[in-house]
Amino acid sequence: MLEARLEQAGVLKKVVDAIRDLVQDINFDCNDSGIALQAMDNSHVALVSMLLKSEGFSPYRLDRNIALGINLTSLTKVLRCAQNEDILTLKAEDTPDTLSLIFENAENDRISEYELKLMDIDQEHLGIPETEYAAAISMPSAEFQRICRDLIQLSDSVTIEASKEGVKFSCSGDIGSGSVTLRQQNNVDKPDLSTKIELTEPVTLTFSLKYLVNFCKASALSSVVTLSLSNEVPLLVEYAMGSGFVRFYLAPKIGE
Amino acid sequence: VKSQTTLGRFFNLS
């Protein structure tokens, strides 16, 4: 059986909010490393990969590996019944038909118990190759969100150019064009507001803004986002949490 | 004109 207790229900709520517009029916794969999911959107253009490490739960008990087939719209309905500060416990049998979710308030005088019906989900798993990226940019997640929301007003695509000078997001559409350039800067007082660029070679790639705007729903999970790019490979957008991560991969747009 | 690729072009489906 599985028993996994999370101090803050808000963590799972934010994870589900971040991915539920991209993927609907997913498996939570529970194993010794924690609770993981990997799922592609219907168009096979984007992939979400998430891990909530076992260390982030206390306790984390698992007798054998199990997959919990979950409809995220249904899970969202149940999670709405939890306060962000509630303690959340997930429980399931070894061959589960349902997932139990128990919410307890910090004062320990309210216990809510819900059962979510599980589904059989046949999932395609993508072998994601280990990639040495040519450029890794870490920046405030709120800044990345603002840039994507601004540029999507002008175009459905953005070109990201990473060089020693900085990172430039540019777009062009029917009404005109626009760009935002960020220079590398180190904020000593507030490291989360720094922009860092690690570069082995310059990279220029074009991506659909619709997906990037969608990824930015994960901004609540982390004040920092990391963009990893190499020419002609999918973009990796990572939001790291204290004990886990949400990663998005996005296939580029490529010229004929 | 650039066209949208899919992840299957870069990753192996297993």
Which residue numbers of B have CB closer than 8 Å to A's CBs?
A: 1-14
pLDDT digits (tens, 9 = 90+) for A173-195: 999 999 999 999 898 999 889 99
Query: Is there a contact between A46 and B7 if contact means CB atoms under 8 Å apart?
Result: yes
Query: Is there a contact between A45 and B13 if contact means CB atoms under 8 Å apart?
Result: no
Query: Is there a contact between A254 and B11 if contact means CB atoms under 8 Å apart?
Result: no
Best residue in A23, A38, A40, A235 to probe B by mutation, most B CBs within 10 Å?
A40
Query: Is there a contact between B14 and A126 if contact means CB atoms under 8 Å apart?
Result: yes
Query: Is there a contact between A43 and B14 if contact means CB atoms under 8 Å apart?
Result: no
**For the residues A240-254, what does the mean pLDDT come to?**
96
Query: Least CB-CB distance to B10: which of A157, A233, A253?
Result: A233
pLDDT digits (tens, 9 = 90+) for A39-92: 999 999 999 999 999 999 999 999 999 999 999 999 999 999 999 999 999 999
Residues of B in contact with A234 (CB under 8 A): 7, 10-11
Which has the closest alpha carbon to A98: A73, A82, A74?
Answer: A74
pLDDT attached to residue A125:
77
| Closest residue in chain A to residue B6, using alpha carbons only | A45
- ipTM here: 0.94
Residues of B in contact with A46 (CB under 8 A): 7
Instruction: Tell me: pLDDT of A124 over 80.
Output: no
Q: DSSP string spanning chain A?
A: -EEEEES-HHHHHHHHHHHTTT-SEEEEEEETTEEEEEEE-TTSSEEEEEEEEGGGSSSEEESS-EEEEEEHHHHHHHHTTS-TTSEEEEEE-SS-SEEEEEEE-TTS--EEEEEEE--------EE------SEEEEEEHHHHHHHHHHHTTT-SEEEEEEETTEEEEEEEETTEEEEEEE--B--SS-GGG-BEEEESS-EEEEEEHHHHHHHGGGGGG-SEEEEEE-TTS-EEEEEEETTEEEEEEEPPEEE-
Instruction: Tell me: pLDDT of A256 over 70.
Output: no
pLDDT attached to residue A23:
96
pLDDT digits (tens, 9 = 90+) for A15-33: 999 999 999 999 999 999 9
How far does A120 lie from chain B, in Å, by closest CA?
Answer: 19
Query: Is there a contact between B13 and A43 if contact means CB atoms under 8 Å apart?
Result: no
pLDDT digits (tens, 9 = 90+) for A194-225: 999 999 999 999 999 999 999 999 999 999 99
Average confidence score pLDDT of chain A: 95
How far does B13 lie from chain A, in Å, by closest CA?
Answer: 5
Which residue numbers of A have CB closer than 8 Å to B's CBs?
A: 40, 43-47, 124-129, 157, 206, 208, 233-234, 249, 251-256
How far does A171 lie from chain B, in Å, by closest CA?
Answer: 13
User: Is A22 within 8 Å of A41 (Cβ atoms)?
Assistant: yes
